[in-house]
Chain A
Amino acid sequence: MTEFLHYDVTVIGGGPAGLAAALAADQQGAKVLLIEREARLGGILKQCIHDGFGLVRFQDKLSGPEYAERFIEKLPKSDVAVWTLSFVSGIERVSGESYLTVITREGIRHVRTRSLVFAAGCRERTSRQIGIHGRHCAGVFTAGTAQYYTNILGKLPTKRCVILGSGDIGLIMARRLTLEGAQVIGVYEAKSTPSGLTRNISQCLWDFDIPLHTSKTVTRVFGDARLRAVEVMSVDEWLCPIAGTGEIIPCDALILSVGLIPENELAESIGIPLDPKTKGAIVDEHNETLLDGVFACGNALHVNDLVDYVSESGETAGLAAAGPQNERSLLPVECDLSLLYVVPQRINRSANQQERVFFFRSSADLDGATLTVRKGAKTLLRKRYSHLRPPEMERLTLSLSPEQLLGDEPIMFSLEELMHD
């Protein structure tokens, strides 16, 4: 007979989302288990030694480890059971409950839980996924891996590198490597606009005279055992390299910051439907997936720009996961092509609340735009934005009365660019 350990709420992932979810559920009096794969809690924050975390939440400029510590220090006073170096290898769903198989150094444990919260974060896109060719030599790193080597191991992975992609970790690493004495030749971005936060472009590149080349990409790497050079090419409007524009740049590493993908292999294994736009689960305003009692939050749900929102999304999930399971009546929330996505993708009409929080990103850089939220022919909200950029996530609180939610038409988000005189 397999012996199961019982919990009300089990959280998978001990990063900012999982920590917030576990603490929030604990505060509601639920019996909570937090499972973390690594030896220490904090997730990717552990290696983010730069500041800028917590501006929204704590009105303070914290480093990643400091931000994580604000949550971790609350754990001893809580009743949350924390398992580190523990790995969930499989989940089964039986009559509304989840049964987890967890690999630990003490053996295999079996967990039975009423609510399950996925907070496994995201992973980085690799050089192969963006079609970089050449030899498989040492010296090709994703920005997060380079960050681990630099900040956790204290070892430099490069002395002279090219950074491909202007995602935030790439920009942060450009500054970090420069500070440690490495030469960053430039940041190359295939798109015509940078994908990182404006403040990072300014603080990490301009302040250190690191050039940013847009509409250019790395197509090949050269080298034998170690990388010796990369080929950079200009791209056309469909991001295809233009023949004849190749330029060989000698360097010893290529660092990639070309996008993040939510980790959802476990969620998919129990049949949780994903949103192809976010690559995370489809959730309602409590971050509950289409499977009752299963929640998703943080970067596993959608890739956030600020950790403050990650914590908020974890709390939302943790609170609801600790509460009772009620019958849901879900109404779809959709967006047109002017938005990259909107989260949540469903609204629970049975929920006893009016205020609902939405996160969205625009598809393009817009200087002046109007957001319209409609339901059928009714307009629920019109809001003006002076500036919208895809890298910067927007948070919107919407008050929706039960009357406004009558009828089965989906709620529709759309953006319209303001005409300039």
Chain B
Amino acid sequence: MPYLKHLNQKLSARFGGRIYAREDDGCLILEGSLDCWDDVVAAGLMSVNKRRYDGLVNDILFTGGEIPPMRLPALQDNALDGATPDVLIVGGGIIGSAIARECTKYDMSILLVEKEHDIAMQTTCRNDGMVHPGIDLIPGQVKRRYNMRGNRMYDQVCKELDVPFRRSGQYICFHGFLRAATAFLGQFYYMLVGPYGRFLGKRAFFKREPNMNPAISGALFFPSAGVVSPYGLAIAYAENAAENGAQFSFDTAVLSMRVDQNRIHSVSTNRGTIYPKIVVNAAGVFSDEIAKMANDRFFSIHPRKGTNTILDHKASRRMMTIVSSFGTSSTKKKHTKGGGLVKTIDDNTLVGPDAVETYCKEDFTTNAQNVWDVFEKQRLTDPALFVRDAITYFSGIRAATYEEDFVIQKGRRTRNLVHAAGIQSPGITAAPAIALDVSKMAAELLSESREVHRNPSFNPIHKGIIRMNELSLEHRDAMIHKNPDYGEIICRCEQISRGEVKDALHRSIPCDTLDGVKRRVRPGMGRCQGGFCGPLVLQIIAEETKKPFEEIEKSAPGGEILFGSIKEVRPE
């Protein structure tokens, strides 16, 4: 085994014999211990060999800190005990939700379990919402294939699901004559290989984006790029799935699995034991741990954090599309596309993201330095970017494998398992295509035990919540006459009515938190960040769910906003 020997020599030289690599069943396993997380990641990245091995499992013990365990819901009951769904989907992000909806096209019973309290609570709701053209993906990558297909599917999917989507196009800007000249030649590469892109000279570029850095001398324009609300799409997918019969169980974490003769026999959760025929692993940053439980581990996730900042509408008028400068998106080195400046579907400018390796899979904290660094970098594109225009910032964790590619396949050893794992950028773009293939794989696996047909009553059409301030005045007036609640504005920044908030609470996927309402109809997304509308939304939730004020949560159990009536509460 000359490759393995050579690799072990390299690892030994770099890490002083503290780690070693071995082969097991077609996979490469790294073992040993290191006290620096960047070294753990570096060891993984330098050992990857996609041609020789099906995957890399990084079992290096990290001794430099305590890796926090997965956050588990406090809920304990037996609501799901004994359930026997045809397909059990683990994970309710964009991937799990999309798969659930595509699976309902077959006559299979679907159960999706999500450990958080709502759809799209972790990586999906912290995404920049770009539908990527696939500029910097290498032909041959799984993610490139799904990106290209997914991008093409967006118009139809968003039409069916009634989700706003805009093909705004993306500009990659080049500074200096030499770079611009290279970009000019670059357009022929893209015409040949795809995605379609064309070169724009300085004048043509500034006609479209007049407020960008005057030092920009040319840009490549990719018209297939677009923007969508990542959580909006995930919620729409989930709601359409629910309308077509899929079951959803929130606050439900998979704790272990029983695997017999290469088949998952049962899946135990905090809400009872489930006996699924097929399991789909769409568990995001935890997809490697789900694979391990299913006795089918051949990849590892190294979490990579990114921070985005949202600017006020007023400061967002400076740009219209998606603009980034060549060299700022740290593309190759750090494996992220770094959207640069993105005019989101809700017309805010989004700045970011960056890419930082971390061993905490749920570390959603932001820090000042990251935000400043991102702004500093993006000023190359727009010199008038100021942190003071920020209305909010947030961090998400990408579920990167060491191969830096998606894992979309049936289980290697475990026969009733499909992986939709290792999904990082461009996961949102790829989701529609991934869901199509994964649902097909699930149906194929199920057809080994019974016949699987198309679901004759599947309805692809989903109706979103009507946004009053997007209607014509006549239409809006007519809606108010039907329901006066549409005429009572409770969020002044985003002009959201009481009626829309009520609508958000009565959908096929339940919602009973402030953040849940915010993700569905946007009160609190504006410049006051919920200062005025927060208490009003809280009261509407309480009225509609018949719960007392003190039981209403910001985003999850344990996140109650109020403690109880004045004069009755005493500090502990």
Given A126-B531, A128-B391, A144-B531, answer yes or no on A159-B489 (Cβ-Cβ < 8 Å).
Answer: no
B529 x A126 contact (CB < 8 A): yes
The size bracket of the interface on B is 35 or more
Given A128-B529, A225-B559, answer yes or no on A103-B535 (Cβ-Cβ < 8 Å).
Answer: no
B473 x A108 contact (CB < 8 A): yes
Question: Which residues, 133 to 160 on A, are CB-close (under 8 Å) to B?
Answer: 133-139, 142, 144-145, 148-150, 152-160
B558 x A225 contact (CB < 8 A): yes
Query: Taking the nearest CB of chain A, how far is it from the CB of B305, in angstroms?
Result: 13
Given A87-B489, A123-B531, A133-B367, answer yes or no on A157-B477 (Cβ-Cβ < 8 Å).
Answer: no
- Cα distance, A89 to B496, chains bound together (Å): 11
**Among listed B160-168, B171-179, B283-291, B548-556, interface-contacting one:** B548-556
B563 x A158 contact (CB < 8 A): yes
Given A37-B489, A106-B484, A158-B563, answer yes or no on A183-B571 (Cβ-Cβ < 8 Å).
Answer: yes
Q: Give every chain B residue within 8 A of A180 (Cβ-Cβ).
A: 566-567, 569
- Cα distance, A27 to B569, chains bound together (Å): 48
A123 x B550 contact (CB < 8 A): no
Query: Taking the nearest CB of chain A, how far is it from the CB of B466, in angstroms?
Result: 15
The residue of chain A having its C-beta at the shortest distance from the C-beta of B514 within the complex is A138
Residue B390 is within 8 A (CB to CB) of chain A in the complex: yes
B563 x A148 contact (CB < 8 A): no
B365 x A157 contact (CB < 8 A): no
Question: Which residues, 49 to 98 on B, are CB-close (under 8 Å) to A?
Answer: 71
Residue B481 is within 8 A (CB to CB) of chain A in the complex: yes
B571 x A142 contact (CB < 8 A): no
- Cα distance, A44 to B532, chains bound together (Å): 11
Q: Give every chain B residue within 8 A of A135 (Cβ-Cβ).
A: 364-365
Residue A101 is within 8 A (CB to CB) of chain B in the complex: yes
Query: Taking the nearest CB of chain B, how far is it from the CB of A224, in angstroms?
Result: 7
Query: Taking the nearest CB of chain A, how far is it from the CB of B115, in angstroms?
Result: 13
- Encoded as 1 (CB less than 8 Å from any B CB) or 0, chain A from 79 to 91 comes to 0000001010100
A225 x B553 contact (CB < 8 A): yes
User: Of the candidates B71, B492, B561, B565, which one forms a contact with A138 in the assembled complex, judged by CB atoms under 8 Å apart?
Assistant: B561
Residue A95 is within 8 A (CB to CB) of chain B in the complex: no
Given A126-B531, A138-B555, answer yes or no on A131-B488 (Cβ-Cβ < 8 Å).
Answer: no
A133 x B535 contact (CB < 8 A): no
Residue B211 is within 8 A (CB to CB) of chain A in the complex: no
- Cα distance, A155 to B567, chains bound together (Å): 9
Given A154-B566, A156-B563, A225-B555, answer yes or no on A145-B535 (Cβ-Cβ < 8 Å).
Answer: yes
- Cα distance, A133 to B387, chains bound together (Å): 13
Q: Give every chain A residue within 8 A of B549 (Cβ-Cβ).
A: 153, 155
- Encoded as 1 (CB less than 8 Å from any B CB) or 0, chain A from 207 to 226 comes to 00000000000011000111
Residue B37 is within 8 A (CB to CB) of chain A in the complex: no
- Cα distance, A398 to B384, chains bound together (Å): 41
Query: Taking the nearest CB of chain A, how far is it from the CB of B376, in angstroms?
Result: 15
A87 x B366 contact (CB < 8 A): no
Residue A66 is within 8 A (CB to CB) of chain B in the complex: no
Pick from B364, B489, B565 the residue with the most CB of A within 10 Å. B489
Query: Taking the nearest CB of chain A, how far is it from the CB of B526, in angstroms?
Result: 10
A108 x B480 contact (CB < 8 A): yes
- Encoded as 1 (CB less than 8 Å from any B CB) or 0, chain A from 325 to 357 comes to 000000000000000000000000000000000
The residue of chain B having its C-beta at the shortest distance from the C-beta of A131 within the complex is B368
A137 x B554 contact (CB < 8 A): yes
Query: Taking the nearest CB of chain A, how far is it from the CB of B394, in angstroms?
Result: 7
Given A107-B487, A135-B364, answer yes or no on A153-B529 (Cβ-Cβ < 8 Å).
Answer: no
The residue of chain A having its C-beta at the shortest distance from the C-beta of B312 within the complex is A129
Residue B557 is within 8 A (CB to CB) of chain A in the complex: yes
Residue B6 is within 8 A (CB to CB) of chain A in the complex: no
Q: Give every chain A residue within 8 A of B558 (Cβ-Cβ).
A: 224-226
Query: Taking the nearest CB of chain A, how far is it from the CB of B428, in angstroms?
Result: 20
Query: Taking the nearest CB of chain A, how far is it from the CB of B565, in angstroms?
Result: 6
Given A85-B488, A144-B531, A225-B557, answer yes or no on A155-B367 (Cβ-Cβ < 8 Å).
Answer: no
- Cα distance, A103 to B388, chains bound together (Å): 32
Residue B539 is within 8 A (CB to CB) of chain A in the complex: yes
User: Of the candidates B553, B559, B571, which one forms a contact with A181 in the assembled complex, judged by CB atoms under 8 Å apart?
Assistant: B571
- Cα distance, A141 to B559, chains bound together (Å): 13
A159 x B561 contact (CB < 8 A): no
Count contacts between A and B, CB distance < 8 Å: 153
Query: Taking the nearest CB of chain B, how far is it from the CB of A3, in angstroms?
Result: 12
Number of A interface residues at 8 Å Cβ cutoff, please give it: 50
Q: Give every chain B residue within 8 A of A158 (Cβ-Cβ).
A: 563
Residue A78 is within 8 A (CB to CB) of chain B in the complex: no
User: Of the candidates B71, B528, B555, B569, which one forms a contact with A126 in the assembled complex, judged by CB atoms under 8 Å apart?
Assistant: B528
Q: Give every chain A residue within 8 A of B572 (Cβ-Cβ).
A: 159-160
A128 x B531 contact (CB < 8 A): no
Residue B562 is within 8 A (CB to CB) of chain A in the complex: yes
Given A153-B562, A225-B558, answer yes or no on A107-B481 (Cβ-Cβ < 8 Å).
Answer: yes
A181 x B567 contact (CB < 8 A): yes
User: Of the candidates A104, A181, A226, which one forms a contact with B560 in the assembled complex, judged by CB atoms under 8 Å apart?
Assistant: A226
The residue of chain B having its C-beta at the shortest distance from the C-beta of A159 within the complex is B571
B560 x A129 contact (CB < 8 A): no
- Cα distance, A150 to B550, chains bound together (Å): 12
User: Of the candidates A101, A148, A159, which one forms a contact with B535 in the assembled complex, judged by CB atoms under 8 Å apart?
Assistant: A148
Q: Give every chain A residue within 8 A of B550 (Cβ-Cβ).
A: 155
Q: Give every chain A residue within 8 A of B480 (Cβ-Cβ).
A: 103-108
B563 x A159 contact (CB < 8 A): yes
A103 x B487 contact (CB < 8 A): yes
Residue B33 is within 8 A (CB to CB) of chain A in the complex: no
The residue of chain B having its C-beta at the shortest distance from the C-beta of A268 within the complex is B314
B392 x A128 contact (CB < 8 A): yes
- Cα distance, A158 to B571, chains bound together (Å): 9
Residue A124 is within 8 A (CB to CB) of chain B in the complex: yes
User: Of the candidates A103, A131, A156, which one forms a contact with B566 in the assembled complex, judged by CB atoms under 8 Å apart?
Assistant: A156
Query: Taking the nearest CB of chain A, how far is it from the CB of B384, in angstroms?
Result: 15
Q: Give every chain B residue within 8 A of A160 (Cβ-Cβ).
A: 571-572
User: Of the candidates B371, B469, B484, which one forms a contact with A105 in the assembled complex, judged by CB atoms under 8 Å apart?
Assistant: B484
- Encoded as 1 (CB less than 8 Å from any A CB) or 0, chain B from 127 to 164 comes to 00000000000000000000000000000000000000
B535 x A152 contact (CB < 8 A): yes
Q: Give every chain B residue within 8 A of A412 (Cβ-Cβ).
A: none
B569 x A159 contact (CB < 8 A): yes
Given A85-B488, A106-B487, A156-B564, answer yes or no on A138-B388 (Cβ-Cβ < 8 Å).
Answer: no
Given A133-B367, A148-B535, A224-B558, answer yes or no on A154-B495 (Cβ-Cβ < 8 Å).
Answer: no
5 extra A-B contacts, CB within 8 A, seeds A103-B480, A145-B532 = A87-B492, A87-B495, A135-B364, A137-B554, A155-B562
Nearest 4 interchain pairs by C-beta: A225-B559, A138-B554, A225-B558, A87-B489
A-B contact pairs, 10 of them (CB 8 A): A89-B469, A103-B476, A103-B495, A105-B485, A105-B487, A107-B487, A136-B555, A138-B561, A183-B571, A226-B559
Chain B residues proximal to chain A, CB less than 8 Å: 71, 314, 364-368, 371, 387-388, 390-394, 469, 473, 476-477, 480-481, 484-485, 487-489, 492, 495, 497, 527-532, 534-535, 539, 549-550, 553-567, 569-572
Chain A residues proximal to chain B, CB less than 8 Å: 37, 85, 87, 89, 101, 103-108, 123-124, 126-129, 131, 133-139, 142, 144-145, 148-150, 152-160, 180-183, 219-220, 224-226, 268
